[in-house]
Structures are given as structure tokens and as C-alpha cells.
Structure 1
Amino acid sequence: MQIQNRNLFRLTRLVLLTLPKILRFFAKFRKPAKRLLLIKADAIGDYILFRNFIETTKLSEKYSDYKIDLLGNQLWQDVALQYDGRYLHESYFIRPGSYYEAPLKTLKLGWQLFTNNYEVVLQPTYTRVFITDGLAALTAAKYIIGYQSDNEGITPRYKNKTDKFYTQLLPLPNGVYFEFHRNRYFFETVLDSALTVKQPSISIPNNSRKGIAILPGAGAFKRGWEKEKFLELIIRLRSQTAQPIYVIGGPGEVENGNYLLQNLPSGSVDNRINKTSLPQLIELIGSSILLISNETGATHIAAATQTPSVCILGGGHFERFAPYPDDVTHKPVCIYEKMPCYYCNWLCIYKTNEQQAHPCISAVNIDEVWQAVSRFL
């Protein structure tokens, strides 16, 4: 949460912390509708590891006759509507960070959620943040359920206040660490039922598989393998396979993509960076023979579409998002150099300049990745 305008943030904070108390008072005089709100406003990979539980909730015995709404992230709006829209009554897609200095926008959305008269609000995200905690509270729902959470996304100063908005906060049991398993535990607890869904999945049209997809970025620059190593990897691939190579990604991968194109012979790769929608990207990954990437949403898309993948992995969220546990099939092959400082939540203890990857990423060498990739050729 980086704040530029402190005055606007103070007004937003007032909306998030004070208005819920007023709305909760007025909510006592109304009968809640049979309506449930799911709040999941994280990044693309988080959505992939969560999305199967939208269907599970709608088809559950407990909430089958409820209208199910979703408050999600604009980053994955198109794919949520395409794959999960049939289970949803209303959908709201936001960029969470844009609300901290937008008190009127926050007030407008909060009022809209309040007037929907939800009986239940579920926020399965373990690492809660201030804005979605506040939006959950503004619904004044009869039941607001979330995780006890850590302080990675919200400071203790605000978490101590927003904890009080929830009617139930679930502790995370020992042994439930992988993000998909956290989601499954949350919904099994809330739905009072053992769930059959065992791993993330996305059904795409049955296409014959062809091509190798490479995503040469990581959202945050310092979490990504160096572009020079991706270049060397592509050169080796071109010498060993006739499969087409797709360079994929969004705006964050444009710079690395340009570097690769400038240093490869013309026609070496098919550049799809910033040229596909998210649904198209999912179909491309799902019809490829192999994905190579850093630990990004693409890694989880590959697992969900049963596409083999090789993941260059750092230690910030080690074992929370990757490597996948043994009970998940079609999991990525993860290449990493484990260091004593792993599990740091990307609060790196090493000082590096802006143009250097974190040491746990740069320690992964090209030969290790090539050895993993060559098994799939």
C-alpha cells in the first residue's frame, strides 16, 4: 500500500473504518436477502487457484438457492466471465490499489454493496488487505467470514481494527500451506462439507498440442530470471526442436520481449506479448506442449490446463504457490536454488541494484533449466 496523497487516504480510511459501524446499525432493521458475496481481488494466479470454488459454492447444498456475486480484480475479468459467469448473479471488478486515494469511489462501491443486502460475505484470501477488509465491512452482511490472516498485506495497526468487522475468522491449520489447499480448507469449513475438487482445473476446447510458450517476466522485475538467460534458453531450443516458440505475456513483459527479438534471428519466435486477451492466453498455454516461465499466473494456468511446465522459482513464497505438493497432478517442474532465507515473503535481506534479480532467482543457472526442459522435447 503506497500512498501519495495522505489527505485523500485519510478520507478513504474514514469511509472504511467508520461508515461500517453506521451501516451495521441500519442493517439491524432489514431482513437479509438470500445473497452471498465472494471477495477475491488478488492477481491472476490467485484467481486460477480459487476459481473452481465458485462453482462449488453455487452447487453446494448450503447455498444452492442463493444468488452468488463476485468482487474480483479487473486483471482477470474477461476469463472469470467466460468460465465462471454462469454461476454468478452480479460481478464487480476493481483494481484494489486505486481505491486507497479515492474516497468517493470507495464510498460509491461500498454503498452499492450495502444495498445488495447480502446475508453472507466470504473472503477466502489468506493475506488480507485493508481495502477489501473495508469493502467486506461496508456490506454490513449478517455473516462476514475470512481468515485470521498474516501481516504481509496489512499492517497490525489496521488489521487489529478490521479483524472486528468479521463475524468469523478461521485459523490456518498446520499442514495447510499450499494456496489451493488453503482455499479448499476455507470452503470445506464454510460449506460444512468435504469437497471432491482436488486441484485447479480449466476446461478448454480439445486442441492438438503444438509449440513451446515462454513467458520472460514475473510481474515484479526482481522476481524474474534474467532476460539474457531466457535468450540463451531460446537459442538452445531452436537448435534442438522444430516446435514453434511463442513468447507470451502482458505489458510487463514488453521490455524483455523486445530484448529477445532484437537478439534473435528474424522469425525465431512468434511474439504474442501484449497481443492476446487473458482467455486467448489460457487457450494458447492449454494447447502448447510446454510452458517455461517464472512463478507467475501462467504457471498455474499450465497446471490447470494440464500443460507440462518448467518454472524458475525463487524463495519469497516458497511452497505456498510452488512447488506444488505431491497430491496435485500435472504440476510444474520447479527449478530453484534453496537458500536459508527462503519463505521471506519477498522481503529480501540482500541489497541489490534495481537492475538485478533477487539472489534466489539469479542463482538458478541455465544448465539446470535446460536439463528440465530437454526432458519434454
Structure 2
Amino acid sequence: MLKRFIRLLKTSPLLLPLLASIDLVLLLVDRLAVLTVRTRPAPLSLVVIRLDVMGDYLMFRNYLRQLKKSARYGNHSITLFGNIAVKSLAETFDSGLIDQFIWVDIYKLSTQPSYRFKVVRALRAQGFSVVFCPAYSRVLVLDDFIAWATGASERVGCRTDYVNIARWEAALGDRLYTRLIDSGPGIVFEMERDRRIVEGFIQEPVAVQPPLLDGHYARAVTVPDRYIVVSLGAGQEFRIWPADRFAKVARFIMMQYPAYKLVLTGAPSEKVYAESFLKHLPDASAIVDLTGLLSIPQLVYVLTKADLLIANETGIAHIAASTQTPSIVISQGKSLVRWHPYPAEYGEMITYLYPDYIEQRRADLSAIAPDFNPESPLSINEISVERVIGTIRAMLQGLES
């Protein structure tokens, strides 16, 4: 609901006065916070602003190593100013590349002036010399205002696509940077976009980097010997395949492949989907329900040991790409090409299932991508149980052969 309102706020001419008022209030909060701080710039200090969610961070994190070893910024201390939602992932797997983490609640940062004042004041007091904001779909009050508030003399951002920002907001935000990176036109896979942005920032070639989470840093939990992970949620209802269809798939697996247990995962807020799923199963003895019980490092461990993942198109698919877990991802096509399917050079273990309109145009998804960004007109219910079962059968046969 909140995401839909934000989208409406950015696109409706009727809500323009409200959007402008919110921007103005937050800008005034930032300026007031900055005026209360006196600090000296810390030389060779770089802050990376990454305030988006899990999938965005997973796409970007591979290139942190490029920053760390670059000729231009390799001698800088690196701070990540990030969304607290990715804290456990980043601190577990990337602490060797980041010298300091600063975590914030992005919803409080956007809606609570007193919280924002404290955060901006503390950030300004750090005295960073360089700020890098690699978000392509920038948000004025998060990315642009915060980059300016650091007080860094070198402020580098990206030319945006106007998905999360109105054009007049982008024009204002552009002026808050000392340099803007042009990562090229069109819709491209997000990891490729990030590669271009980092390349433009450090001003040296950056090679394609397949995603990878080092399993040695994952947090072990008790799991069955052989199992398939089923993830039922996706954050937005239109991206969620019905629980009764997942249950039909589960019954097929339990009957045809009894050697496998089924492990349910998901955030605590997704417990409702697990409960609905279990109601459709007369026998849940082959089900291990870990919904709401796993930290992200523990989820990484579970995926590392899994034989297969079956999920909606959401953050867990990007974690699975980083653990090289064979996966079946059910998608209605939202953000096609930009976020999925994974090109072979970035993740060849993931099979995406789409409605027929997309499947029939697999040979040239770029041609239809504009019709699916940022939203898809198709229903996830167009994907049948039979197609999912057929894909499971083919993948399990391939794994066991």
C-alpha cells in the first residue's frame, strides 16, 4: 500500500503540491541539521549511500571489492550508509570491504523529521571527503538530499530513469552533485547497470562479476539431508502465486520425490502465506516450516545446502543467485530485463517462469521490456501448476543424472 501511494505521489499532477511540500519540509530539516554541526573534512574518507532494499544491495555488493582496490579510492576509508534491512547480510559478508557501517530506517528517514534531524546531524559530523550514490532510480529526499547533507566536496551520483523521482525533482537533485555518471540508455540488467556506474565512478575498467556469497560466513542451522526450499511471499500481492497452487506442487513433490523434504522460508510478515499453504496439505510431515525464524545469514546457509528453490520473484531469488542454488522463479514480469531473468554470465542456475505473452517473446525480451517497467500488465495466475511441475521434473532429473 505504501509503495503504491509513493508511486501515485510521484506521478499524479493532483498530488504535486503535497509532494513539493514533503520535499521542502525534509530539505529544511536537513539544512537545519547541517547548521548545527561544525566539523573538519576527514581526508581520504568515502561514504557510499545505498538506501534501497535487499535485491538492490545484492546486485551492487560484488563491486565493493572494485572500490576497495581501485587506484582512485583504494586508499580511502569506506563507510556504507545503508538501509537497516540489509544490515545482517552486509555485516556478515562484507565487513572485510567496509570500514564502517551506518544503518538507518528509510521509512523513518522519510516520514519522521526528528529522526531525520538526528541522522543527518550525525552523518554531517563525520566530515566525509567523497560521497558516492550509485542508485540509478534515485529518490530526491533519500539519495540526493542525503548526498548533499554529507558536506563532501566530491559528490558523485548517476543520471536517473525517473522511476522513483519526478522530472522536476531530478533537475533539482542533479544540481546537488559535483559529478553525474551516465550509465547509458535503455533497460539493462541491474548488475550490468551497477558495473557501468562503478566503472564510471572509479574511472577504470570493471569486469563482469557473477554474484557470490561466501558460504563460509553463513550461519548454520539444522536442515534435512535433502530438501527443496519453498518461498511463498513476495512483498506485493500481485507478485505472489496462490498458496493452493504451491500446495499442489508440494503434493506432487511429496508423491514423486519422497526423498526430499520441503523447507518453507520467509519473513515473519509472510507467516500468513505459510499457514494458508499448510491448510491445503492433508499431510505436512514432509514440511519443515522455518518461516519467520531465519536471519539472512541463516537463510544463506539454508539455500547453500538446498537442492532446489521454488519461489516468487523477490529478494530470495537474488540470494539464490549468489549461492548458486538451482531455482525456479515464478514471475508475472514486473521489471522485466532490469531485474530478471539473470543473463548467463551473471547466474545460469535460475529458471524463470512467465505468463505466455512473455514466454513467446523470450528471444528478444528487450523489445517488450518497456511495457513491463516499472509494472507488468499480466497476472501471475496465468502461470499454471502443470508448467511448474514440468519444470521441477526436468530440473530434478538433471540434478540426479
How many residue pairs were aligned?
Answer: 365
Confirm whether residue 202 of structure 1 aligns to residue 213 of structure 2: yes
Output one character per residue of 1:165-206: Cα deviation in whole Å (capped at 9) or x when no partner. 111222232477100111111111111222235211111039
Taking only the aligned residue pairs, the percentage that are identical comes to 26
Residue 36 of structure 1 corresponds to 46
Confirm whether residue 70 of structure 1 aligns to residue 80 of structure 2: yes
Q: Any conservation in 1 of the 2:135–2:143 contact (CA below 8 Å)?
A: no
Residue 85 of structure 1 corresponds to 95
Q: How does 1:41-190 map onto structure 2 within 5 Å? A: 41-130=51-140, 131-174=142-185, 177-190=188-201
Cα root mean square deviation, aligned: 2.9
Aligned equivalent of 2:380, options 357, 361, 365:
361
Offset of 1:344 from its aligned partner?
A: 3.3
Output one character per residue of 1:209-260: Cα deviation in whole Å (capped at 9) or x when no partner. 7311010111111111111211111111111112111011102321110011
> How far apart, in 2, do the equivalents of 1:342 and 1:315 lie?
11
Letter in 2 for 1:319: V
Change (3 A) 1:219 1:22: closer
Change (3 A) 1:323 1:146: same
> How far apart, in 1, do the equivalents of 2:111 and 2:347 lie?
43
3-state SS of paired residue (1:100) = helix
Offset of 1:43 from its aligned partner?
A: 1.3
Q: Any conservation in 2 of the 1:313–1:322 contact (CA below 8 Å)?
A: no
Change (3 A) 1:178 1:8: closer
> How far apart, in 2, do the equivalents of 1:226 and 1:203 lie?
33
> How far apart, in 1, do the equivalents of 2:247 and 2:186 lie?
39
> How far apart, in 1, do the equivalents of 2:203 and 2:127 lie?
23
> How far apart, in 2, do the equivalents of 1:84 and 1:124 lie?
17
Offset of 1:12 from its aligned partner?
A: 6.7
> How far apart, in 2, do the equivalents of 1:61 and 1:163 lie?
26
Change (3 A) 1:158 1:67: same
> How far apart, in 1, do the equivalents of 2:108 and 2:256 lie?
46
Confirm whether residue 294 of structure 1 aligns to residue 322 of structure 2: no
Q: Which moved more, 1:166-175 or 1:186-195?
A: 166-175
Residue 362 of structure 2 corresponds to none
More helix by share: 2
Offset of 1:132 from its aligned partner?
A: 2.5
> How far apart, in 2, do the equivalents of 1:11 and 1:46 lie?
25
TM-score, length of structure 2 as denominator length:
0.83
Q: Any conservation in 2 of the 1:317–1:343 contact (CA below 8 Å)?
A: no
3-state SS of paired residue (2:215) = coil
Q: Any conservation in 2 of the 1:20–1:140 contact (CA below 8 Å)?
A: no
> How far apart, in 2, do the equivalents of 1:63 and 1:12 lie?
32
> How far apart, in 2, do the equivalents of 1:161 and 1:174 lie?
21
3-state SS of paired residue (1:109) = helix
Change (3 A) 1:343 1:317: farther
Q: Any conservation in 1 of the 2:230–2:309 contact (CA below 8 Å)?
A: yes
3-state SS of paired residue (1:154) = coil
Q: Which moved more, 1:205-214 or 1:108-117?
A: 205-214
Change (3 A) 1:149 1:107: same
Residue 14 of structure 2 corresponds to none
> How far apart, in 2, do the equivalents of 1:286 and 1:327 lie?
20
Offset of 1:330 from its aligned partner?
A: 3.2
> How far apart, in 1, do the equivalents of 2:339 and 2:349 lie?
11
3-state SS of paired residue (1:228) = helix
> How far apart, in 2, do the equivalents of 1:76 and 1:322 lie?
21
Letter in 2 for 1:85: S
Residue 345 of structure 1 corresponds to 373
Residue 192 of structure 1 corresponds to 203
Q: Any conservation in 1 of the 2:34–2:121 contact (CA below 8 Å)?
A: no
Residue 352 of structure 2 corresponds to 334
3-state SS of paired residue (1:63) = coil
Confirm whether residue 370 of structure 1 aligns to residue 398 of structure 2: no
Change (3 A) 1:346 1:63: closer
Residue 221 of structure 1 corresponds to 237
Q: Any conservation in 1 of the 2:306–2:325 contact (CA below 8 Å)?
A: yes
Residue 353 of structure 1 corresponds to none
Change (3 A) 1:41 1:22: closer
Q: Any conservation in 1 of the 2:109–2:116 contact (CA below 8 Å)?
A: yes
> How far apart, in 2, do the equivalents of 1:80 and 1:31 lie?
26
> How far apart, in 2, do the equivalents of 1:209 and 1:48 lie?
28
Unaligned runs of 5+ in 2: 10-16, 359-367, 397-401
Change (3 A) 1:200 1:348: closer
Residue 235 of structure 1 corresponds to 251
3-state SS of paired residue (2:379) = helix
